[in-house]
Amino acid sequence: ELRDRVISAEAEALTGQALVDYVNANQQFFKTKLNHRYAGMTEERKRKMINGLAQSIEHLAAELDKEGRVTHNVLAADIPEFFDAREAWPKCPSIGFIRDQSTCGACWAFGTAEVISDRMCISSGGSQQFNISADDLLACCGFQCGMGKVANPTHFLRTCQSGYPLTYLQDKHFGKSAYGLSTKVLDIQTEIMLNGPVVAPFSVYEDFEQYSSGVYVHNGGKYIGGHAVKVIGWGTENGTPYWLAVNSWNSDWGENGLFRIIRGTNEVGFEEGIVAGLPK
């Protein structure tokens, strides 16, 4: 089974074009190509850019277990085979908007800002359309462009710009609740169907960095760090179940900025640390 597969030390040691060639030749789930975004970049700089989580997926999962996870009482028969939040809420274009964190290693802020933007729009029936600032989350949580986790916002009192009618604090949007989700696929699917996209932290290996299309299943390359993305749906391709997610590496990466990853096996920790929140 995929869950129990073992990746050889030789495959883990591969990098660059050798890794791309190996992955494309040894499995049929997804395709890779050399990502020129990272060409010539030192390992230290690459890790600072990609490794945006200040805690391991295992540590985050343990915290969520301690705090208690949200579950939903739903039957598998109530879940459709395919779901795409962009189609479910067409009045909310932010759901499909692709951001670019560039060299700022703050995926946690980008993913969270995206989910907050989407859920505000969804809960308001499309009347509240904002692109919540990832930079503001960086400022309020004190991590800047580095590893972090979403914390309670710090209140700053200042005016945004000359002539702007609201103070900075008056213009901020706060949520009603934040919570971790059950690791069960049905609970995650139900949460997305009811309330909108969720944030998924996971472990990134170099073969994900080189992903270009298909359903991702880790096959080789070294561990780079923790990353977080927005999950907007799911589906099945050639019998393989997958999650549909939005990355923050621009639209020239992956499938026009999105990717699919195998569903139901907790691939690279994808299902054990999912978090969400509700707007006021």
Active site residues per annotation: 107, 227, 247
Sign of the Cα pseudo-torsion (19, 21, 23, 25, in order): negative
> According to the model, what pLDDT value does residue 132 have?
66
Q: Hunting for tokens 């990353």 — which residue is that?
A: 227
As a whole number of angstroms, the distance between CA 186 and CA 175 comes to 24
Check pLDDT > 80 for residue 172: no
> According to the model, what pLDDT value does residue 165 have?
64
**211-216/258-262 β-pairing:** parallel
| HSE of 60, CA atoms in CB hemisphere, 13 A | 29
Average pLDDT over residues 95-116: 70
Tens-place pLDDT, residues 21-45? 999 999 999 999 998 777 677 777 6
Q: Hunting for tokens 């710009």 — which residue is that?
A: 161
The pTM score is: 0.82
As a whole number of angstroms, the distance between CA 117 and CA 105 comes to 20
Q: Give the list of residues 6+ apart from residue 232 with CB closer than 8 angstroms, or none.
A: 84, 85, 86, 95, 96, 192, 197, 244, 245, 246
More confident residue, 106 or 201: 201
Check pLDDT > 50 for residue 206: yes
Cβ-based neighbour number of residue 149 at 10 Å: 20
As a whole number of angstroms, the distance between CA 278 and CA 119 comes to 7
**Token couple for 250:** 């621009």
Per-range mean pLDDT, top range of 160-169, 171-180, 247-256, 261-270: 261-270
More confident residue, 138 or 87: 87
As a whole number of angstroms, the distance between CA 225 and CA 201 comes to 10
Tens-place pLDDT, residues 118-134? 898 998 888 887 766 55
pLDDT tier at 151, thresholds 50, 70, 90: very low
User: In the chain, what are the domains?
Assistant: 14-279 (3.90.70.10)
As a whole number of angstroms, the distance between CA 147 and CA 69 comes to 24
